Structure formats: C-alpha cells, structure tokens
Amino acid sequence: MSPPISTILSPMSRLAGTPEVVIAGTLETEGALVATAWLVGGSVRTGPLVEDADFIRVAGVGGMVFVFRYGVVVSVQASAQSTQRFDAALAPYIADVADFREAETANLVIRTGSEDRVGPDGQIVLADDSPERLLLVATVLSRSVILARDETLVSEAFERTAPVVSELRQNGRAPLPIRQVMKLVGNVLAARHRVMGMVQVIERPDLLWDHPGLDRLYTRLEAEYELKDRAEILELKFGALGDFADVLLNIVQDKRAFRTEAAIIALIAFELLLNLFEMAIR
C-alpha cells in the first residue's frame, strides 16, 4: 500500500523547496486500473498544497493522485470517475486556469511478478503497484497531455497566421493587426519555454536515477506515447513561428522608420514653404 502523501523534488525545485509532484492517496486494489491525466492550468503551487488537509482527504478516496507543478493532474483508480472533486480541491492553487480541457486516459493492469510492458492495444502492464512505477506512468501521461496542449496551440497559431503569410507572399504587405498576431506568437513561444524548461519533456525523469530498474519501462512508455518525436516536431514548429515573429517585428520597425522619415520630410517641406512665404511677403 502506498503512503498517504509524499512529494518529489526535482534538482531545480529542490533549491526553492517546491515539490515537482505531490503524490496523495492510497491504492488498495490490484488488477485493472484506469489512469486519467488532465490539464488544470499553467502551474500548480505544490508547496502549500502539501499542507492542505482537505486536499489530502479528497485525494485519498478510491485511489492515488499525482499533482505536477506544471499544471497536470493524474489519477489512478479502479474505474474512470469524475475529476470535479480534484478540480475543486485544487482550485486555490492553480495559476492560469486552462481555457480548454486536454486529457489522456490509459488502462493499467497490475500483475504481480510479471514483466513491465505495454501491450499492442496500449494497455500498460506493471509488475507491482509501487508508487515509483505508478509515478513513472503518471509522468509520461502528464508529459503527453502537455504536448497535446501545445500541439493544439501551435496548430491554431499556424491557422491564424496563414492569412498574413499569404498576403505577404501575394502583395508584399501584411493586413495587420500585428499586435494580435504577435500576441498569438508570444503565447506559442511561452509554450516553447514551458516545454523546454519547466516540463522538460525529453529529459529522463529524476526517478530513474534512484530506480534504474525502471529504465526499460520508461523507454517503452516514451515510445508508446512518442514523446521524443512529438517534442522534436514541436520544436521545429516553434522555430518556424519564431522566425515569423522576427519577420513581423522587422515589418513593424520598417513601418515606424518610414513614418519617422516621412514626418521629418514633411517638417522640412513645411519649413521650406514657410520660408518661401516669408520671402514672398517682404
């Protein structure tokens, strides 16, 4: 049986005393389980969450819950259940509440003494229900949810910038509101920072340093959810959007420079006309 609540500190968060993930609840059953991962926001204040008795009570009903500081929650229970009770308990600790719900579900089976593996149908078979194994599954699912969220964000960004790119190609000018487009690109670049920084999708979980025997399980889970491939594709798209942002910035700067030059020329012309007028009336 797992402990009622614990925390995991990453090397970066350990210095600040901020748990990378809060683990709460107990798992009292073997056999078939359902793991559900969903996005709650941009981040979760896991430090004060550890001290919240109400959350511990809510999370301890019917299974285990893993709350990652980068805004994803994963529950492991005997059957799929509503996540509303978790959302309500976590509400005071969520920063930048998610605009849309991104979720991932996986079927788990605990078979004591068997080999950790991922079946052809995506079912995850675990040799036991140790918190370490469940945390590894939760970590992969949470990263998959983050990738799915940012894949959606990037797709929307390309769709919204397509008319601007088309106008630039056909007419050599952009029908801006540039500010709106730049804001959109800024959101995408923030997502890039999130993926490469806080979440570190392609990095090996710190858990594997203390439990190297789980390395094979992680490799299989990473391949099943294509974490590395998806992160690399996102990085290419992030780069393309970054280049696009540079182009827009140059356009804005050129327009401002043109307006400044036009204003200077207008002032010079006005001064010349004024001088001519003064000469004419003398």
CA dihedral 11, 34, 232, 152 (to 10 degrees): -110
* DSSP-derived pairing of the beta strands 63-68 and 21-25: antiparallel
Do the domain assignments include residue 247?
yes
- State how far the Cα of 8 lies from the Cα of 14, in Å rounded to an integer: 9
| Domain enclosing residue 183, as ranges | 145-281
Confidence check: pLDDT of 275 > 60: no
Higher pLDDT, 128 or 160: 128
| pLDDT value of residue 184 | 64
Do the domain assignments include residue 134?
no
- Same-domain pairing of 15 and 89: yes
Domain boundary among 69, 97, 128: 128
205-212 contacts, C-beta under 8 A, 24 or more apart: 205/136, 205/139, 206/8, 206/10, 206/11, 206/20, 207/8, 207/132, 207/135, 207/136, 207/139, 208/136, 211/132
CB 207 within 8 A of CB 213: no
Sign of the CA dihedral running 62, 64, 67, 72: negative
Confidence check: pLDDT of 86 > 70: yes
Question: Looking at residues 155-180, what average pLDDT do you find?
Answer: 71
Percent of the chain with pLDDT over 70: 71
- Same-domain pairing of 220 and 277: yes
Q: What is the pTM for the complete model shown?
A: 0.79
Q: pLDDT (tens digit, 9 = 90+) per residue, 229-248?
A: 998 888 888 888 777 777 77
- Measured between its terminal Cα atoms, the distance across the chain in Å is 103
- State how far the Cα of 93 lies from the Cα of 98, in Å rounded to an integer: 13
Q: pLDDT (tens digit, 9 = 90+) per residue, 27-68?
A: 776 678 999 999 999 889 998 988 888 887 877 777 889 999
Provide the 8-state DSSP code for 198: I
Look at the chain and report how many structural domains it folds into. Answer: 2
Do the domain assignments include residue 236?
yes
- Same-domain pairing of 152 and 200: yes
